[in-house]
Structure 1
Amino acid sequence: MRLNHNCSTGLNETIVSSSSATSIGALILTFVFLLGCPGNIFVIWSILARARQQSVTTLLILNLAIADGSLMALTPFFIAYLVMMNWVLGNVMCKVLFYLCLANMYASIQLIMLMSVYRLVSVVWPKRISVITGKKTIMRVLGVMWMLVIVASIPALIYRNVRCKKNHPGYVCDSFHDTNGEVVLQYTLELVLGFVVPYGVIVVSYILILRKIRQTKFRRRIRSEKLILAIVVTFCLFWVPYHVINMVQVAWALSPEGSPKKKLLGLIWQRGRAVTSTIAFISSCANPVLYFFAGKSYIRREGLEFMARLFEGTALDFGRKSRMSSQNSRDKDKDAEVVLKDKGDSSTN
């Protein structure tokens, strides 16, 4: 495929400017692909073909596996890019592939946020859980979420382009901005929508959940709590470095031209972008590994259906905890009624 682009606007430092960094990145992505692609396919198969019931949690995990599996299917393109140190797929594929990567980031964190909100409602307001567990309601929520993901990922289509590498042969697929304002807009949007807002909701949800658990006598750490908390923490660990580099690049764009600070920040984000982007890919293969360790007690008894039984058990945990909270609330109401009745009898006497 022949590419004709102006080489005068290329960059000296890009994601493929260092042979050592690209070699390490290619090895990591190869491992991620070999582990994540079959892992997410197995999760999807377990839910669609082997799960006896489709709970809210199961449906959210299914969408998360679809998002991660789609990204894993794109990994060979990026491996070839790193190995060849040259983008040969054209400008359209450059935009589309990185658009899908950004969409995966948004979809993953939004789905994890929905899991946390669902846990919050099931624990803190168990009487209202039936309002949001209807199939139509869940499908509408997921539809709105995917529409927001599609719209929020549009900057990747706008700013991603193929350019010639300056002073080097070949091409790069990278984000190019005409002004510093575009840099600030793109990466601030990713930071706010892809981390600050959803993780703010997640943290608040867990604070309220822990407060509620401390107020009840049912303090046992059930399977669903451990699994979803592990998903939240794992996603955070792999994506925080990427968002830190985003903040560094925003600070670079806002720094005065020619200042030592701007030169230092530019060096950090240019050399750190490839590493942090590769680390972020790992999050898409981590969830099947978490499911495996969470459901290993089922393997001997259930065989290949162990993961389906795990998700069913997780759904039962949610239901059990909701019933416990409801029962505890009813017990408190009964106790209050007895106290009021006793007081009324005493005043009558």
Structure 2
Amino acid sequence: MPVSNGTEHGLGHKDDSPVSNDNATVLGALILSLVFLVGVPGNLFIAWSILARIKQRSVTTLLIFNLACADGFLMAITIFFIVYLAKQTWVFGEAMCKALFYLCNTNMYASIFMITLMSVHRMVVVVLPRRVSSKVSRKIMKRVIVGTWALVMVISIPSLVFRGVREDNDDGWNTTKLVCVANHTLPQHVRFHYALETTAGFILPYAVIITCYVLILRRLRKTQFRRKVRSEKLILAIVVMFGLFWLPYHVINMLQVAAQWYPEGSEARETLDKISSNSRAVTSALAFISSCANPILYTFAGKSYIRQNGFAFMARLFEGTSLDQTRTKKNKDTEGLSNADSTNGAGPPLISAKMADKH
């Protein structure tokens, strides 16, 4: 997870530490500082808007609340990584090294899984018959969310196992630094750790998300109600933004995995290790941006409510996503009436026309 080592120590060779590249370290610290200042109050405001302003919370709102909690907690602990990059030495001890990176991974998985659940839920509402989608109640979704948090806590365990503090000698300045780095004793550990992180935290979720939106688009093309509802637009924007900011991080993961297939000391392995080491601080900091970007995204999406509702604009935006779900179900009912009337030779139904004008 963030600010991790670009190469794996304990495999019989020494490489650059995650804070050895001054330019990347300064840039990473700057990005994390901005992320902290925006992300912490932004996600707290989202959580407060949902808890204090919304009485009837839709499934989408519950998922957005959990996403804000995951992102907000991740933003809160960035202060430790800012200090790490600024001092260029780890001052928080072995236990904090393991715990903080474990929490980072937990919230990374939680964020993408919540976004995946949003996409699956929208697919169920839009694509599946009403008798199926109506069963996806808030009570069921709450159980799914609890199960999701339990799952992410389990699959983040490698961050506890493969993480530790070691001394790193800086020959140029004749000093010794403490660095919190991944500590894999075998090449197989490297491949398992980072392949799991990228597969479970990026590839598989995005495969599910893309499948959901393909099904949604196919469904919308078959119906006369082609207006894109607010929740589809908002969730799709969250998905795209998450992918853009996390893709560089997972590319570096795959470069580290690829490096382990080359013999130790080979030119290809040294090149991949160097790229990973020099890029980790920046790509990890970019990954953090996705967690502070959502409040900004919601603000732009709900700007039409700001003048009328003031600080309650975020609640009005999320209430709108709940209304979209109701509208989608109404549209399905109307479509069914339209098909029945057409079969009876009654021509375009008046009800359908009224519903189309209404929505």
Shared fold (TM-score, shorter chain, > 0.5): yes
After superposition, the C-alpha distances for 1:201-256 in whole angstroms (9 at most, x for unaligned) are 00000000000000011111221121111000000000000010011000001112
Choose from 122, 130, 137 the match for 2:134: 130
1:1-349 matched pairs, under 5 angstroms: 11-127=14-130, 128-133=132-137, 135-167=138-170, 168-336=175-343
Distance in 1 of aligned mates of 2:176 and 2:344: 81
After superposition, the C-alpha distances for 1:49-80 in whole angstroms (9 at most, x for unaligned) are 01131110000000000000001110111100
CA deviation after TM superposition for structure 1 residue 7, in Å: 11
CA deviation after TM superposition for structure 1 residue 16, in Å: 0.7
Tell me if structure 2 keeps the 8 A contact 1:120–1:206. yes
Tell me if structure 1 keeps the 8 A contact 2:163–2:181. yes
Alpha carbons of 1:321 and 1:331: their partners in 2 closer, same or farther (altered >3 Å)?
same
Distance in 2 of aligned mates of 1:149 and 1:106: 6
Distance in 2 of aligned mates of 1:131 and 1:249: 44
Alpha carbons of 1:178 and 1:118: their partners in 2 closer, same or farther (altered >3 Å)?
same
**1:132 counterpart SS class:** coil
Distance in 2 of aligned mates of 1:79 and 1:125: 46
Amino acid at match of 2:89: N
Tell me if structure 2 keeps the 8 A contact 1:159–1:176. yes
**Counterpart of 2:357?**
none
Q: How many residues align?
A: 333
Amino acid at match of 1:71: L
Amino acid at match of 1:152: I
Amino acid at match of 2:332: S
Distance in 2 of aligned mates of 1:15 and 1:132: 45
Distance in 1 of aligned mates of 2:108 and 2:226: 33
Name the structure with the higher helix share: 1
**Counterpart of 1:342?**
none
**1:164 counterpart SS class:** strand
Tell me if structure 2 keeps the 8 A contact 1:47–1:62. yes
Distance in 1 of aligned mates of 2:283 and 2:211: 27
Distance in 2 of aligned mates of 1:268 and 1:253: 14
Distance in 2 of aligned mates of 1:336 and 1:108: 46
Distance in 1 of aligned mates of 2:245 and 2:336: 39
Distance in 1 of aligned mates of 2:238 and 2:277: 29
- TM norm structure 2: 0.89
CA deviation after TM superposition for structure 1 residue 322, in Å: 2.2
User: Is 124-133 or 194-203 further displaced after alignment?
Assistant: 124-133
Alpha carbons of 1:217 and 1:326: their partners in 2 closer, same or farther (altered >3 Å)?
same
CA deviation after TM superposition for structure 1 residue 111, in Å: 0.3
Alpha carbons of 1:206 and 1:8: their partners in 2 closer, same or farther (altered >3 Å)?
closer
Distance in 2 of aligned mates of 1:192 and 1:12: 26
CA deviation after TM superposition for structure 1 residue 152, in Å: 0.6
After superposition, the C-alpha distances for 1:145-204 in whole angstroms (9 at most, x for unaligned) are 111100010000001100001344120001011010000000010111001111000000
**Counterpart of 1:345?**
none
Distance in 2 of aligned mates of 1:35 and 1:308: 19
Tell me if structure 1 keeps the 8 A contact 2:67–2:114. yes
Stretches of structure 2 lacking an aligned partner (at least 5 in a row): 1-8, 347-359
Tell me if structure 1 keeps the 8 A contact 2:190–2:257. yes
RMSD: 1.8
Quote the sequence identity (%): 54
**2:185 counterpart SS class:** coil
**1:14 counterpart SS class:** coil
Tell me if structure 1 keeps the 8 A contact 2:11–2:184. no
